[in-house]
Structure 1
Amino acid sequence: MRFDPLIQFMKQVQGKVNSSVYASLQGQSSAQQLAFIRQLEKEARSEKALSIPLNELNVVVFDLETTGFFPDQGDEIISIGAVKVKGGKIQHDETFYSLARCKQVLSAEIKELTGIQDEEIAEAPELSKVLVDFYAFVKGDVLVAHHASHEKKFLQHANWKLFRKKFIHRIVDTSFLYKIAEPQIELVRLEDFCDHCDIQVVERHHALGDAKMTAELWSIYIKKIQDQGLKCLHDVYERLAR
């Protein structure tokens, strides 16, 4: 079944946003944060990113750590990590990481998996502030995540709960590239893709560590699809539609 690549793009890719919106946000009140989110929504545009050459496209690759899998059942975001990639080149000095305050006691499994402890969460900034800071870091760049449905549903839930606003940033799923470059592979886990691409697995289940590994995968697969003649995200969606 074919789909309209522009419609799919609008659902998945974040648009361009006027960087002037992202003036100093430190210490702002909840009302100011809400005003920021409203302005972000007003100025979001996605039409330009569709045709930007892949070797010029700026993205923010990100990852969330959460207390579970179901935000509608009370699971919460406990950390966000991100790194910028410009034209396929990872910007190692342009990263974002923050814990987010969580009222519930972390399970033993989550503590072991992430290394995050209750006392760290108790002293962390409120999620509303973390999200505003994260969006300020992202600005108008395209968002990218590894199998992005987990990240998307948590951000959708948090945006509505905290700001009563829909999550307007669009996310490109790394699986789009895998399906084009290597349609025969059936890997799912991030560490398995890293092994497949000879990427060292470091700080797995740390939001920034996972974001950095995903950024390496993005850089590799962007080159692979360019070698197949794809020049922009429009071409990616056209290929997926076949």
Structure 2
Amino acid sequence: MTHTSSHTPGTFRASVPSVPHPARGLLISEATFCIVDTETTGSRAGDDRLIEVGAVRMVGGEVVEEFQQLIDPERHVPRRITRLTGISTGMVYGQPTVREVMPRFREFLGDSIMVAHNLPFDLRFLDLALDEAGLPPIQNPAVDTLRLARRLLSALPSKGLSRLTEHFGIEVKGRHRALGDAGATAELLWILLSRMQIEFGVETVEDLLTFQHRRYKDTRREPSHLKKIREEMLPDLPERPGVYSMRDGRGRVIYVGKAKNLKNRVRSYFVGVENHPPKTKKLVRDVREVTWDETGTELAALLDESRRIKSLLPVYNRALRRYRDYPFLRLDVSSTYPTISWVPRIAHDGAEYYGPLARRGQADELVELIGRLFKLRECDENVFNLGRPCLYHEMGRCGAPCLGGVADAYADEVERVRAFLTGRDTDALDALEAAMHEAAANREFESAAWYRDQRERLTTTLGRQKQIASPVHDHNVVLVEPLAPGYAGFENGGAQLFLMRHGRLAARVDIASNLGAGEIEDLRETLDEHFDPLASPPEAHLRADVDEMRILAAWMRRFPAPARQVRWHESMSSDDFLDAVLKAAGSALPDAEEEPVEEEEL
């Protein structure tokens, strides 16, 4: 039996319903899409019949519901169709007919936006089936991913579903089966929608329906906001370090980043957009303005970036959004027999603090490792005052100072711990290796693995600590960084000085490459003010202070050369310290080979 349709086959008319559809005004992220695929006995609607319908309902890029049904075509399924789809006559015999299936399919489709790859083909078969079931043809807004691909992917020789899924790495769970192809088309749709949003500002369903009917030459035009940024903002960017802010259409800061070279870094967002990861593409789609501030050095940019992100909380910054409690190792020297532990904060309590460490797990491991390698007591004051050995002594982890008479030996052990914590004593590595081999020989493989892992981690930790060979409160140093020529009127460059006192940043000073007598005297006064031998350490370090300490400590490890770090101690005269700083500043030159610090990722 031949079925006729109330519309002309091949006419792409379902995307323009006679009555305005409520979905047309929705944002794409809020709209419901129904992605459909059909399998048939052939390619001629009317002569050939449906044998399967598959569909997925998608909202916000997520599939929320599926529909799949084999259909009895009430005729033989050709062998070539069986070879292609795997659907045989026996599989569809006794299945519901289109008269039974179409009402359920129509209910699943609802008022959603219908999507298919080569939409007219599927529409012809579906409308004929609906007509047979006594239902009106589909009038939903409709999108053809084939049309979208032709406009967006002109360089691809083929726009067929197989070629596109291969190109985008989409996994098809059942190729040439209706539900499998519908699911793959759904993934393809979301990829194409993302690209349209970034490159053409397509935000609403109305924009999408209009876009698919654009002439090919109109789809080659660049989005207006990208053109404006490239032409009006990027040319003014300096080739010097700084911090940049990206703002959306409402003027809100949505991303903050730092750069060693502002021009190169910011420009990289707006060229080769198609090759960016999805989140960066979305950022480029939303940004409407770029502003920046020069900092003179990359270190200053790192510090300013961290502060701004925590202050503004831009939506596209994943890391650095909150101040964290970084753990510190605490050597309590208030007792004749000091103990080691870790704490989340620093206090001015006479103890020695080492760090900051990256995470609490690392702090736990180091305290445990010190307990195994050195014989510091691990009991609390109440247990210690009982005057009898505890479990740790029985385990060989303590020399039982509670019994008295070992003060000198204990002091030597404390000094070994200090040397270990500042990277000056690497005997611990040999001890760990020996312990590992001994545990393995005794077939204590779990302990051997622990010692092996600790040795690997300790190798890294000691390498870092070696550059900061003192407790936190004793970090008194001037970091010297070459100043970018042209920054803030320093045409011939100069140096940027970071004054660290009692472990935290006290001041930042920019000086020219050639200082006059008055400027040298001003620098002396600044150094004398902050490096006053009588100044007491701060009562406490706030989270913001510790965050700066973490950044500065990482920088000191990266640039350990004495020329970049002028250390101060109380015995230095004002003249000697000033001369050392001026000498370092005079030799401060940018290193063309240095690796850039990794930027905070999106």
**TM-score of the superposed pair, with normalisation by structure 1:** 0.76
Partner of 2:179: 208
Residue 187 of structure 1 is matched in structure 2 by 158
Alignment of 1:88-237 (within 5 A): 88-91=61-64, 94-163=65-134, 165-228=136-199, 229-237=201-209
CA contact under 8 A between 1:14 and 1:142: conserved in structure 2?
Answer: no
1:48 to 19, 22, 45: 22
What do residues 48-103 of structure 1 show as CA deviations (whole Å, max 9, x unaligned)?
Answer: 2222111111101010000001122x200000001111022233xx1000011121
Quick check: 1:13 aligned with 2:30? Answer: no
Aligned-residue sequence identity (percent) comes to 27
- Distance, in Å, in 2 between the alignment partners of 1:106 and 1:217 is 29
**Residues 145-200 of structure 1: per-residue CA shift (max 9 Å, x gap):** 01111101111222233316334344310124324433333423211000111112
**Structure 2, unaligned runs of 5 or more:** 1-11, 219-602
Q: Do 2:149 and 2:159's aligned partners in 1 also have CA atoms closer than 8 Å?
A: no
Q: Deviations over 1:199-218 (max 9, x none)?
A: 12331111000001111101
Pick closer, same or farther for the CA change 1:182–1:188 going to 2, 3 Å. closer
Give the TM-score taking structure 2 as reference length. Answer: 0.32
Distance 1:100 1:185 in 2: 35
> Which residue of 60, 64, 79 maps to 2:34?
60
For residues 14 and 58 of structure 1, the distance between their equivalents in structure 2, rounded to whole angstroms, comes to 17
What SS class does the counterpart of residue 203 from structure 1 fall into?
coil
| Cα contact 1:177–1:225 (8 A) shared by 2 | no
Q: Which has the higher contact order (CA 8 A, sep 6+)?
A: 1
The AA in structure 2 aligned to 1:70 is: R
Amino acid at match of 2:130: N
Shift of 1:108: 1.1
Q: Which moved more, 1:203-212 or 1:162-171?
A: 162-171
Contact kept, 8 Å, 1:65 with 1:207, in 2: the verdict is yes
Alpha-carbon distance between aligned partners in 2 of 1:238 and 1:98, rounded to the nearest angstrom = 32
Alignment-mate amino acid for residue 40 of structure 2: T
CA RMSD of aligned residues (A): 2.2
Aligned amino acid, residue 126 of structure 2: L
Answering whether residue 78 of structure 2 is matched by residue 76 of structure 1, we say no
Q: Which runs of 5+ in 1 are unaligned?
A: 1-9, 16-43
1:52 counterpart letter in structure 2: L
Cα distance in 2 for residues equivalent to 1:56 and 1:98: 28
- The ranges of structure 1 where at least 4 consecutive aligned residues each deviate by more than 4 angstroms after the TM superposition are none
2:418 corresponds in structure 1 to none
Q: Which amino acid aligns with 1:88?
A: G
CA change 1:125–1:207 in 2 (3 A) is same
Distance change in 2, residues 1:227/1:152 (3 Å): same
Verify the 8 A CA contact 1:88 1:222 in the aligned structure 2.
Answer: no
Letter in 2 for 1:232: T
The number of residue pairs the alignment matches comes to 202
Q: Are the aligned partners of 2:172 and 2:183 in contact in 1 as well (CA < 8 Å)?
A: no
Q: 1:235 to 1:183 in 2, by over 3 A?
A: farther
CA distance in 2, matches of 1:46, 1:141: 13
Contact 2:52 2:69 in 1 (8 A): yes
Q: Aligned equivalents of 1:210 and 1:202: distance in 2?
A: 8
**Residue identity matched to 2:13:** K
Superposed displacement of residue 46, structure 1: 4.1
- The answer to whether the Cα contact below 8 Å between 2:15 and 2:139 also exists between their aligned partners in 1 is no
